Structure 1
């Protein structure tokens, strides 16, 4: 039986058990991740005979003047359907049809494994975005050979310096956020001050689960922060969640050093994938291609319905 449950009706213990029983479930659908990035959320849930959750579709929602909106939270690349072996409802269309009854607008990004999608309910529009993925199942030396020539040259040039730049463990997320604000900021990204509170909350949740890897590159003489990145280590691999660099860091190839360091530390783990969380912007896709990453499409679903008062007034 499928039911649309509001946050107050969700049993998060059963939620966690459902996610744990879903092979390959991404960390974005974990209750603690959603709590950090969305706060509250609804879901279409398949209930078993004992009330257990056999499958679910997370629905982070917020209210707007035109009605309820299901949205994709920041720092959450993909959501989508979470299935277990006991699920009797495996057609995404069923979940979407139920979700559409409660929202005026819907937007959600699904994992690449969701493609190809089945027929969609009336009104839903399918589009695709790109992320770049790198298989970490082979040794570092083999992956390094797939790096583009210019990338390998920059790594060699750094090693040839009298004081090469080094990647080290970081412990100050605020320094990384400050670097991002200085050289990117709201004008380029649309991120407002309140959005960084979500990142801080997510970082704390990741740290408490030993899933956060904060890495940085500093100038060897001055200690100036040239670049930094927050990676998420999870059961399926590594996620490149948040990063920033200064013009000096970019000129010194600090972002290349950060990613190469991550590949070096995690290579040789069968079944592990490095998700760069980007690729739709051509320049970013080309940068990730330096490391042998492959562009992979993932679907987005959009639904826009008339405002609630117009739907209520229909004969």
Structure 2
């Protein structure tokens, strides 16, 4: 295997990096250079000298100690390479180097990047995806009866789906949810706007559902490539919940995007109600893992669990 080196983000070649992410068998939009640059406060990466394998490592600093964390709107990262270059011994070397560099790690990865190591705990997390290659009639035949009833109510209310600006979608989401999700600050939402300025490998755009008076009831922000449409942000006004606006939004997107090679990625949730809502569309589970390691000095270890 070529030698792994640790590079600061500023020293990475964006063109070679993105080519690796795009061609990787486990490619994820979250790992593209400009997206990650927008979402992470700071990041480094393990990189082979030919950029055939890369492992992004977003980090922060506290008490003078660097630690790996999960940036906002970045569900999973991992080790990105062609399958033939990323066997178990290679993955082991990557994680061992990462743990030498960062004594604390909270890092979500795709299932293909998983490996068992001492002091590295892995927790399975559900992600939900829907294959859009079939015609709409076949996809909606898998809808749960409760979803069909909800869609009937939404259509009877005269709801409409339309594209909207990212700024407007984020403004509505923040107004509806900033008290419920205080850990997300305005600057975190603005990261989406920054990431959207780069469109070579991905696009970010938004939709909203409005009622008959034109009032927004639900929004969704999408991170898209030709292979996957990810709902990185979606939410509903109280009236939208009563009228099943979010059911309507996803159904309309499925209707517009079906018969393509794209996968609709709902992202995941361990909340039973949210998981039940997503599964009602016939979505299947795609497991990813959250890794946790704590090798901090003893005085700090109990403070960061």
Partner Cα distance (1:83, 1:62) in 2? 25
- C-alpha change, 1:308 and 1:58, in structure 2 (3 Å) is farther
The CA deviation at 1:190 is 2.0
Tell me how many residue pairs correspond in the alignment. Answer: 298
Q: Residue 133 of structure 1: which of 114, 129, 135 is its match?
A: 129
Structure 1 spans left out of the alignment, 5+ residues: none
Partner Cα distance (1:78, 1:248) in 2? 32
Partner of 1:97: 96
User: Is 1:168 matched up with 2:158?
Assistant: no
Partner Cα distance (1:227, 1:196) in 2? 17
CA contact (8 A) 1:108 1:301 kept: yes
Larger radius of gyration: 1
Correspondence 1:214-225 to 2 at 5 A: 214-221=206-213, 223-225=214-216
CA contact (8 A) 1:70 1:106 kept: yes
Partner of 2:77: 79
Partner Cα distance (2:150, 2:47) in 1? 50
CA contact (8 A) 1:54 1:83 kept: yes
The CA deviation at 1:260 is 0.5
User: Is 1:255 matched up with 2:249?
Assistant: no
- For residues 151-209 of structure 1, the C-alpha deviation after alignment (integer angstroms, 9 at most, x for no partner) is 11222233345xx11111112x3332332233321443521222222122223335x76
The CA deviation at 1:87 is 3.0
- For residues 92-116 of structure 1, the C-alpha deviation after alignment (integer angstroms, 9 at most, x for no partner) is 11101011111121111112344xx
TM-score (norm 1): 0.86
Correspondence 1:169-188 to 2 at 5 A: 169-171=163-165, 173-188=166-181
Report runs of 4+ in structure 1 exceeding 4 Å deviation.
308-311
Secondary structure at the residue paired with 2:207?
A: strand
CA contact (8 A) 2:163 2:207 kept: yes
The CA deviation at 1:70 is 1.0
User: Is 1:197 matched up with 2:190?
Assistant: yes
- For residues 217-272 of structure 1, the C-alpha deviation after alignment (integer angstroms, 9 at most, x for no partner) is 11212x211111112221322111111211111111111111011111111123x3
Q: Residue 151 of structure 2: which of 121, 136, 155 is its match?
A: 155
Correspondence 1:200-239 to 2 at 5 A: 200-205=193-198, 211-221=203-213, 223-239=214-230
After superposition, the CA RMSD in angstroms is 2.4
Pick which of 127-136 and 302-311 moved more. Answer: 302-311
Partner Cα distance (1:296, 1:192) in 2? 29
The CA deviation at 1:65 is 0.8
CA contact (8 A) 1:24 1:236 kept: no
CA contact (8 A) 1:130 1:297 kept: yes
Q: Residue 69 of structure 1: which of 48, 67, 88 is its match?
A: 67
- C-alpha change, 1:64 and 1:53, in structure 2 (3 Å) is same
Correspondence 1:100-115 to 2 at 5 A: 100-114=99-113
Partner Cα distance (2:52, 2:201) in 1? 25
- C-alpha change, 1:102 and 1:118, in structure 2 (3 Å) is closer
TM-score (norm 2): 0.89
Structure 2 spans left out of the alignment, 5+ residues: none
